[in-house]
Amino acid sequence: MDQQINSFLNNARTYQAAGFTEAEAASALERTQSVKVTFLKDGKNTEDAPYVYYFRYMPYLFLALSGFVMGNILIVFHNPDLKKRMAASPVSGRRQSLEGILCMSLAGIALWIFVIVIAIVFFGKDFYTSGNFAYYLLNSVFMLFVAIALAYLMGTIAPNRDALTGIANIISLGMCFLGGAFVPLEFMGNDVKAVSQFLPVYWYEKANDILADFGHLTASAKGQFLQAIMIQLVFAAAFVCLVLVLKNIKEWIHSRMRSVTVVERLREVEN
């Protein structure tokens, strides 16, 4: 209201400074028309659908839940006795890691089905009959795999539950703030976007923004969307490879430590 009053008085001063009499200024102010905005419809949506915002915050849900829940499960496997028992099994460490990621993927898919059902219940026919329904599902699935791979990595490097809490908070909140989940990418500076491109959440949000802008994807928009989800897949694969490398390094360190322990005991026996 203050802005409208100030705008009216500023217009009156403008007319007075231009030489208008009070009567002419009052008449001109009465004829002032409100600003009208006309939206151009060139294949893009003029406003975002409600479910766009639901999917915008989905990365934080996946990263936080996967990091805390699945990460805490992996912490159990840090028990020294359990490690020795698993090391003595005929199953290689790489296969153990891949099977662990597979089990986490099954749990993650259950979470994904739950959130998609919630979206269908809340947004109804507008959501599942939209032209981009399948693309929203595809984008969220790829983000889920990224979150699972990252959660497995967090559970692998975290030495205890307290450390896992800090790591999960920093990664989930940091990625979502910089990636555009909490603050839309259009409001971020170019320097921030240059850094955000190295985060998987950025590409998820970019794909989500493309779906929000187009009711039906054009050929160019579809190409940009597919590029964004493929980059997410690359991030997921990179996290899986990093987990396997860290597992091999840990196994090598443990084997070296066991060898040193055996040598020391042999020396004690000889003495």
Tens-digit pLDDT profile for residues 217-256: 888 889 999 999 999 999 999 998 888 888 777 766 666 6
- CA distance to 10, 112, 142, 225, per residue, from 207 (Å): 44, 18, 11, 5
Report how far residue 161's alpha carbon sits from residue 128's, in angstroms, rounded to the nearest whole number. 39
Q: Which residues contact 258 (CB under 8 A, 6 or more apart)?
A: none
Split at pLDDT 50, 70, 90, the class of 28 is: confident
Q: What is the pLDDT of residue 59?
A: 93
Please give the average per-residue pLDDT across 72-97, as a whole number.
75
Please give the average per-residue pLDDT across 143-170, as a whole number.
88
Q: Which residues contact 203 (CB under 8 A, 6 or more apart)?
A: 197, 228, 229, 231, 232, 235
Say if CB 52 and CB 133 are below 8 A apart: no
Supply the mean pLDDT for the chain.
83
Q: Is the pLDDT of residue 117 over 90?
A: yes
Write down the pTM of the prediction. 0.72
Higher pLDDT, 98 or 256: 98
> What is the end-to-end Cα distance of the chain in Å, rounded?
93
Q: What is the pLDDT of residue 240?
A: 86
Q: Is the pLDDT of residue 268 over 80?
A: no
Q: What percent of the chain is modeled with pLDDT above 90?
A: 28
Q: What percent of the chain is modeled with pLDDT above 70?
A: 85
